[in-house]
Amino acid sequence: MSNTAKQERAWLVLADGTVFEGRPFGARGVTTGEAVFTTAMTGYQEVLTDPSYYGQIVTMTAPQIGNTGVNAEDTEAVGDAPRVAGFVVRDASPIASSYRSTETLDAYLARYGVVGISDVDTRKLTRHLRDKGSQNAAIGTESPDALLRRAREAPDMNGLDLVRFVSPKEPYPWTEGRGEWAAAAPRPPEHHVVVLDYGIKRNILRCLVDSGARVTVVPASATASDVLALRPDGVFLSNGPGDPAAVRYAVDCIAGLLGKKPIFGICLGHQLLALALGASTFKLKFGHRGANQPVKDLATGRIEITTQNHGFCVDLSTLPAGARSTHVHLNDGTSEGLAMDSLAAFSVQYHPEAAAGPHDALYMFDRFTQAMRAGARKTAG
């Protein structure tokens, strides 16, 4: 950060009128979005580029951010640009000291037009959001009064379809695996998986490839007929941003696929599958975001340490007959997984590809492969 930036002032203003003073960081200007926090200690580049954070101002609870810079390999979006609406840190490191770094975090944010703020009391901000709930906010060098007006005029996350901003316009194939970062040797292509892209993370696609899938990615606007015309062995429902109940076209598509092909969903895909089954969703007070979230597998009793990023949740009391809860969050008992065995459909709320455990949850991709094998045997028989 330059000496000029250190002398400038910026503010983060929440819609409830709470003001936090800091210094400009990244791009100059004004931004609005839903203020949220993540408890991840590392992985700030993955946070910045995760499409599920689209429309949100993300606060890092870890105090020093930027010390390893950024690089071309750790981007989670299919494309290089960050997806967050704004970025909040306590201590922005001016030095990038990793051999993999190609750019400082400050320069990276500035290059992509992401407005940030540093020198903020992020501990106080996080406690405020935890106690009062996630809410809209504005960051900038305008007066706090002007920023408050902007925060209050920003659209509410409830009822907001953000998938249309992060989903691709055209189908595309994906062939890249995890390479040297893979936990095990990749399998040769065995099944064709069609991915409905609601804002997918790159590492999910890599894990699908490594598990033996030939991957075709299609836009969120694809219909059930569009998907079936590609003759998939299985259908994957990706993560993504916004209110799942607002993405009715995706719910209709999934409903048209149920029982026809094995289905596996992650994060928003979990919520959309639940809606297609007839359940409902609701907004959490401050969401689950971080790389240290404990989840219990109800079938085995095993505890998994998971990465999560979601503000909405499946209402377990609304699951239809035949659907069962498979995983729960140990902090609040909320939904972390479901299955409809009769339809070969299952999903998890957390991110098994994100290596928080580090490999506690990779078995979910094997489960999908097994479901496709079972489907192939059924068709052959």
Question: Per residue, what are the HEC states of 230-292?
Answer: CCCCEEEECCCCCCHHHCHHHHHHHHHHCCCCCEEEECHHHHHHHHHHCCCEEEEEEEEEEEE
Q: Is 207 among the catalytic positions? A: no
User: Is 180 a residue of the active site?
Assistant: no
81 DSSP assignment = S
Element holding 123 (H helix, E strand) = helix 122-132
Q: How far apart are CA 129 and CA 376, in angstroms?
A: 48
* 376, HSE (Cβ side, Cα atoms, 13 Å): 14
What pairs with residue 157 in β-bridges?
Answer: none
Q: Which of 128, 191, 253, 267 is catalytic?
A: 267
CA-based nearest residue to 52, from 247, 347, 310? 310
3-state secondary structure of 146: helix
Structure tokens at 170: 């055209």
- The answer to whether the CB of 241 falls within 8 A of the CB of 163 is yes
- 253 counts as catalytic: no
Rounded to the nearest angstrom, the gap between the alpha carbon of residue 316 and the centroid of all alpha carbons in its chain is 21
Q: Which residues contact 167 (CB under 8 A, 6 or more apart)?
A: 197, 198, 199, 219, 220, 221, 240
Contact predicate 338/319, CB 8 Å? yes
Sign of CA dihedral 309, 268, 191, 343: positive
> Cβ of 180: how many Cβ atoms within 10 Å?
4
Q: Which of 76, 304, 336, 353 is catalytic?
A: 353
Active site (catalytic) residues = 267, 351, 353
